[in-house]
Amino acid sequence: MSTSFAPTQQAEVVKLGQHIGARIDGVTLGGDLASTTVDLIRAALAEHKVIFFRGQHHLDEDGQYAFAEQLGTPTTPHPTVTSRGVKTLAIDSEYGKANSWHSDVTFVDRIPKASILRAVALPEYGGTTVWASSTAAYNALPDSLKALTESLRAVHTNVYDYAATAAEKIADEKTTEYRAEFQSTYFETEHPVVRIHPVTGEKTLVLGHFVKGFVGLSSKESQTVFNLLQERVTKLENTTRWSWQLGDVAIWDNRATQHYAVADYDEQYRRLERITLAGDIPVGVDGTSSRSIAGDASSYSVIDEN
């Protein structure tokens, strides 16, 4: 659905926290935004890492996609899950709950640069989502840990997805089916633990629960280091929490954040629809890029350096 845009001069960026989060008021999302409005959204996303829009009730799947095209190149909905949508990926509570800290699709070499999530059906209570700034987490590290993280590389795989965890806890037919589809093609990628953001030039941590282990470390050592660094990312001061309303849209910089969907809504139904935007292949502090070990992501996403 296409609608006219609100002039940029009416837009207001409302900061929500010191390190992460802002709400943008006075903009009606759609496929015909002025270039100045698109520039404002891009700048707010780069600065605040996750941005929110209220009252976008006019948007449907086509409108969400048309808006996404103004910010980048949409990927296919998912590298392996192909049965949950053509333009968007359904984040549907009937197939599991994303209650684990992660960045989207880090098991491929070309990590999406951003995700756009639209609320479709919400529970009467609960179901908030929390985002954490992995840039703020890196910046707060002592020099000794900065040196350690900059020298580390981690292996990410799609067998460590949040959906798999949910399926183990709720072994019903739908979650088992989703898990099987998610793992139908195996992906494994080695990423630098610290990457250089291609837009801001900031250093940011590449972690989350797709991490299988760190190169050169044993499983036990990897778990210890992972817990140490992951706790730095999810420190409350690095987070912002959003209480969803129908008509809400959230956009986050997937290269500088992790997120967690809080599963505190009992058996109520919750559905949101996500579009990811094509990103680049991460580059570490030493100039070495990520490398694919297993799986070909070219049919999922082009490589977008911007």
Which tens digits make up the pLDDT trace of 72-125?
Answer: 999 998 987 777 778 999 999 988 787 899 999 999 999 999 999 999 999 999
The one catalytic residue in 195, 232, 274, 280 is 274
- 102 carries an active-site annotation: yes
Q: Which residues touch 246 (CB under 8 Å, ≥6 apart)?
A: 57, 119, 120, 122
Residue 9: C-alpha distances to residues 12, 17, 153 (Å): 8, 23, 44
Per annotation, catalytic residue among 153, 197, 259, 270: 259
Q: Which amino acid appears at position 117 of this protein?
A: L
Query: Cα separation of 59 and 28, whole Å?
Result: 9
Q: Is 104 known to be catalytic?
A: yes
What integer pLDDT is reported at residue 243 of this predicted model? 98
Average pLDDT, the chain: 91
Question: What does the pLDDT look like over 21-37, one tens digit per residue?
Answer: 999 999 999 999 999 99
Mean pLDDT, to the nearest integer, of 51-56?
Answer: 98
168 has pLDDT over 80: no
Per-residue pLDDT tens over the stretch 277-287:
999 999 999 99
Instruction: Name which of 26-30, 134-138, 182-186, 244-248 the model is least confident about.
Output: 182-186
The pLDDT value recorded for residue 8 is 42
Q: Of these residues, 19, 42, 92, 104, which one is catalytic? A: 104
Is-contact 122 259, C-beta < 8 A?
A: no
Claim: this prediction has a pTM higher than 0.85: yes
User: Is residue 197 among the annotated active site residues?
Assistant: no
CA dihedral of 63, 112, 120, 238, whole degrees rounded to 10: -130
Which residue matches tokens 């969400």? 64
Residue 160 has pLDDT above 70, yes or no: no
Among 23, 102, 153, 270, the active-site one is: 102
